Structure 1
């Protein structure tokens, strides 16, 4: 009887393994990520972002100067400056306001770790809603305290996911503030002979302005109403 049961048991395990969900494709060897991105015209930007999301922070920084370095050297002096503790200053100023905006670079996990260090003290001051760029509008973070891979590309970066979990654990309402790009509009108006247009949605109210030059190239695209 044992000789019969064992093969069947092994077969069940193998069949279950075949149906297992594949791993997160964003996590790969650094060389594989670089080779995959090198096929596109924006390889430098893609490597900067993709390597960071996969946890290769030092490798990602190799590409930073290629796209961010100013064209001309910028010379500064600290002779007339005072060095302050950034965390203490932010928390002191935050107590005077109801909204606090923190700038960050997607490829810099240090920024998210710094933000995480502020959350507990900010919550004690009364801040209780946490909005983050990178969280897609179609998410379920109001129903659970952790993100999943399909709720935003940058949420796959380990320190970003940790920041989201920590905020929820502390009691923050974690929400998205980015909008869903519309694929269709209710109406449109041609603005000039170049083909510039204003696209309109009536319910809910929304609109987009698309400006083109003389040869039909889009030179400006902007949403022209409050987006929800």
Structure 2
């Protein structure tokens, strides 16, 4: 049965969103290749990933571009995260950092702070807010798993609108008809954990909306700083329009431009600009500053300072005696996560503790090539975002999948994009 949604002009609108992203990422390209060449190669990757739903093949194409210097390792990491291999993703994301530069940890008086469970602290700061924002690293499924918890605690206190930086204009077209995450809803939302964030939002009755700069808001013939400033202002204007049209609604924003302090020109982010446009001060939640890494040099000085005050066992915020929370400059609260354990099948333990999933070992026929095991919700459309991806190394005879309760179908993708069914699964 073909369960694909009708696409038509919706495909063109999503493609325009990807074109916008390509231009916005232009400074991350490692060479000075022409825009036409970049567009042609990214168009190929776009068709493979978002139209043909063959992520392993698309990742292989992008990998070859990275190795020849066409795209930055950090850009590639944002897409490599789709494979579920998060150890390699982290390495790629930080490969550009200097080996010998490590800022000293921030000195904290540990006794001056009380550790509060993260979702409890977020409810505390958000209770009287009109607008709550939270950031992410685009290569971090952990942040998306935690965002699923956050929208769960915000919904009962009145939040009902959910905007994400990655959402395409397709979301606005279908916001009242969405039943599951599909590949055309956004760029990063095709990653399984982001797709599941959308599932949670739909199930809880959120109305989704895009706010990224549109193709019509792009400007030509300007320098990079001006282009960035226009993007920040465009995002702010797009969110203001939603707020103005929904004066009685509470809004949750999920993206990366949420620092509230003014900067210099293009360094003044969307959150500050939005406050200037609306007079509404958002609550700004920082995940990125409190996320650990497998390598000390990748961690923020703030995280290393907090870690000196004792081991973290679950996500927390640090409350001061005056009731405010420890945070990086420009944010209201920073969330601190424990280190990740990959001892079970190479999968992160937060899939259980934060993602609410169970691990299941799945047998495979060993193959000479690397393959991608993909798990889909059984009754969702053919263009739905998978709920889990696991990269199987050559000669692997099993992989560990991570799933919540439900009924699923399993697929195995080969490097050339060929896919074959592995049958159905049920998690009770």
Distance (Å, rounded) in 2 between the aligned partners of 1:150 and 1:40? 28
**Contact 1:130–1:172 (CA<8 Å) still a contact in 2?**
yes
- Is 1:152 matched with 2:186? yes
Runs of 4+ in structure 1 deviating by more than 4 angstroms, as ranges, are 28-33, 68-72, 206-212
Deviations for 1:9-33, whole angstroms, at most 9, x for unmatched residues?
A: xxxxxxxxxxxx9841323497665
Unaligned stretches of 5+ residues in structure 2: 1-49, 242-428
Deviations for 1:58-84, whole angstroms, at most 9, x for unmatched residues?
A: 210112322467955232223345233
Q: Secondary structure at the match of 1:101?
A: strand
**Contact 1:137–1:179 (CA<8 Å) still a contact in 2?**
no
- Is 1:61 matched with 2:93? no
> Structure 1's 30 and 152: CA in aligned 2 closer, same or farther, altered over 3 A?
closer
> Structure 1's 143 and 179: CA in aligned 2 closer, same or farther, altered over 3 A?
farther
> Structure 1's 209 and 165: CA in aligned 2 closer, same or farther, altered over 3 A?
same
- Is 1:77 matched with 2:107? yes
Between the two proteins, the alignment pairs up a number of residues equal to 180
> Structure 1's 41 and 23: CA in aligned 2 closer, same or farther, altered over 3 A?
closer
Distance (Å, rounded) in 2 between the aligned partners of 1:67 and 1:211? 27
Distance (Å, rounded) in 2 between the aligned partners of 1:138 and 1:30? 24
- Is 1:24 matched with 2:53? yes
Q: If each structure's strand is expressed as a fraction of its own residues, which one has the higher value?
A: 2
Equivalence for 1:51? 80
Distance (Å, rounded) in 1 between the aligned partners of 2:53 and 2:218? 36
- Is 1:171 matched with 2:187? no
With normalisation by structure 2, the TM-score equals 0.37
**Contact 1:28–1:54 (CA<8 Å) still a contact in 2?**
no
- Is 1:103 matched with 2:129? no
- Is 1:141 matched with 2:175? yes
> Structure 1's 172 and 165: CA in aligned 2 closer, same or farther, altered over 3 A?
same
Deviations for 1:159-209, whole angstroms, at most 9, x for unmatched residues?
A: 000001110111111111123122xxxxxxxxxxxxxxxxxxxxxxx7959
Equivalence for 2:68? 39
Distance (Å, rounded) in 2 between the aligned partners of 1:102 and 1:64? 20
> Structure 1's 159 and 168: CA in aligned 2 closer, same or farther, altered over 3 A?
same
Distance (Å, rounded) in 2 between the aligned partners of 1:207 and 1:42? 22
Distance (Å, rounded) in 2 between the aligned partners of 1:173 and 1:57? 30
Distance (Å, rounded) in 2 between the aligned partners of 1:74 and 1:209? 41
Q: Secondary structure at the match of 1:138?
A: helix
Query: Which structure would you say has the larger Rg?
Result: 1
Q: Secondary structure at the match of 1:160?
A: helix
Q: Secondary structure at the match of 1:53?
A: helix
**Contact 2:59–2:79 (CA<8 Å) still a contact in 1?**
no
Q: Secondary structure at the match of 2:56?
A: coil
> Structure 1's 69 and 128: CA in aligned 2 closer, same or farther, altered over 3 A?
farther
* Higher RCO by CA contacts (8 Å cutoff, separation 6 or greater): 2
> Structure 1's 45 and 65: CA in aligned 2 closer, same or farther, altered over 3 A?
closer
Q: Secondary structure at the match of 2:162?
A: strand
> Structure 1's 28 and 211: CA in aligned 2 closer, same or farther, altered over 3 A?
closer
Deviations for 1:84-139, whole angstroms, at most 9, x for unmatched residues?
A: 32221111111111211011111111111111112222111011111111111233
* Bigger mean CA offset, 56-65 vs 76-85: 76-85
